[in-house]
Structures are given as structure tokens and as C-alpha cells.
Amino acid sequence: MTRLIVFLSVLAGLILMLVLFTFKTLPVSNEKFDLQKTAKEFATHQELVKEITSPKELEVVSEVAEVEYAPVVDLNTPELVAGNKLFGQCIACHGKGGEGKPSQKAPHIGGQYDWYIEKQLTDMKAGARINVAMNPIVKGLSPADMKAVAAYVNKLPWNKEAYIAALKAKK
Ligand code: HEC
């Protein structure tokens, strides 16, 4: 009987030691909560969010939104007529022929597949593709608008020289 009691108390002692040892190795952070530091970090974060979401290039766009130009695309369907009108908003950055502008970091889109353009616009509006420059523009485009402008851009000549040649040929 005494042996059993001794055995059990040794066992209990061992378990106790094990538990105490585990507690000792638990990481403890005594760093105090710093309200000022947190407030500063939050302000920096807010600034970053503002920078990411603010429509910086909007003024550039509205200036040229109504630009008139000779389209090289035959506007022989109502969709192309609508697309031509909508493309007025894109020229400031992508150029009349959709040739793109390095100064705006806007890529060449003239002649691109219509389904690809439509998908990019849809993704940008949905937030799946983030494009700060185009944010304010895609907001105002309906699915039908995207389809129309995509159809129009697809009909633009693929390269700048071809666009200029097509413009000359029209005159
Ligand atoms: C304020 C400038 C600006 C305007 C206006 C603008 N875009 Fe863009 N667009 C950009 C920039 C910059 C990119 C590149 C974005 C990136 O790096 O992801 C881009 C990318 C695109 C792409 C993706 C190209 C690719 O190869 O993936 C398409 C399509 C596009 N624009 C179509 C349009 C259409 C259509 C309009 C008019 C309705 C328009 N954009 C108006 C600046 C603009």
C-alpha cells in the first residue's frame, strides 16, 4: 500500500513538473499597448488607402472626354456607333488609335480581341483587376457599354502606322 502511495505521488510530482515546465516556455509579451504608436500606424494606413483609391487622373480625362476625331472604324452597327462615343473617354490615355501612351503607362489596346477587352473592363469594375487610373471610368460603364467599346477597340488597326495609314486613306 505504501509503495502504491509513493509511486502515485512520484507520478503526480512528475506531471506537475512537466506542466510547470511547459508554462515556463510559453512566450510572454510584456510590451505595453502604445496608443500613440497605434494611432500613427493607423493614420499611415489610412493615407495609403486614400492614395490607392483616389481617382488621381480623373481631371485629365474629363478634359478630353468630348474630343472629336475622324474614326477609322466603319460605324456600320449601332454597337459600333455607341462604342465610338464611349471610346472618347479612353483617348486621353490610350490614344485615338488605341496605340497606348507611355506617359500615362497606358498599354496598346487597338485591335485587341473584343472578349479580352470586355473581360478586363468587367474585372476592373468588379475589383478583380485593380487599375487606379481607369477606376472612375469603368464605374460608369454598363455591361452593354463595355461590350460596345470592346467591339469598337477591336476594329481599330493593330499598330500606330496602320492607324495613320487608315486615317489618310479615309480622307
Ligand atoms: C486615365 C487613363 C486611362 C483611361 C482614361 C483609360 N485607361 Fe485603360 N488603362 C490605363 C492604364 C494605366 C492601364 C494599365 C493598367 C495596368 O497596369 O494594369 C490600362 C489598361 C487597360 C486595358 C487592359 C489592357 C491589357 O492588355 O490588359 C484595357 C482593355 C483598357 N485599359 C481599356 C480602356 C478603355 C476601353 C477605356 C475607355 C472606356 C480606357 N481604358 C480608359 C489607363 C487608362
What are all long-range contacts of 165-169, with beta carbons under 8 Å and residues at least 24 apart? Answer: 166/72, 167/70, 167/72
Task: Output phi, psi for 99, to 5 deg.
Answer: -80, -10
Q: How far is the CA of 59 from the centre of ligand 1 (A)?
A: 16
Has this prediction a pTM greater than 0.85? no
Residue 108 covered by a domain: yes
CA distance 92 to 61: 6
Per-residue pLDDT at 61 = 44
What does the pLDDT profile of the chain (171 residues) look like in tens digits? 788 888 888 888 888 888 777 777 776 676 677 888 888 888 888 888 787 776 555 444 433 333 445 567 889 999 999 999 999 999 999 998 898 999 999 999 999 999 999 999 999 999 999 999 999 999 999 999 999 999 999 999 877 777 777 778 876
**Sequential DSSP letters for 69-85:** ---SS---SHHHHHHHH
pLDDT of residue 162: 76
- Count CA within 13 A, CB hemisphere, residue 63: 6
| The pLDDT of residue 65 | 39
Structural domain range at position 159: 80-170
Residue 139's contacts (CB-CB under 8 Å, 6 or more residues apart) are: 125
- Asked if the structure places residue 148 within a domain, the reply is yes
- What separation in Å is there between the alpha carbon of 106 and the centre of ligand 1? 6
d(CA 68, CA 88): 8
Q: Is residue 109 within 8 Å of 100, Cβ to Cβ?
A: yes
Burial label, 57 (beta-carbon count in 10 A; 0-12, 13-18, 19+): middle
Residue 37 lies in a domain: no
Residue 119 lies in a domain: yes
Determine, yes or no, domain membership for 56.
no
**What's the grid cell of residue 105?**
503607362
- The set of protein residues with a Cβ atom below 6 angstroms from ligand 1 is 57, 61, 86, 89-90, 92-94, 104-107, 109, 117, 120, 131, 133-134, 137, 149, 153
User: In the chain, how many domains are there?
Assistant: 1
Q: Say if 25 falls within a structural domain.
A: no
Q: What is the CATH number of the domain that holds 126?
A: 1.10.760.10
> So what's the pLDDT on residue 55?
58
Query: Residue 167 has what pLDDT?
Result: 76
* Whole-number pLDDT of residue 58: 47
Q: Tell me whether residue 70 is in a domain.
A: no
Q: CA 69, 112, 81, 86 torsion: positive or negative?
A: negative
Q: Which of 57, 93, 108, 125 to mutate for ligand 1's pocket (most ligand atoms within 8 Å of CB)?
A: 93
Q: The C-alpha cell of 40 is what?
A: 500613427
Q: Is residue 135 part of a domain?
A: yes
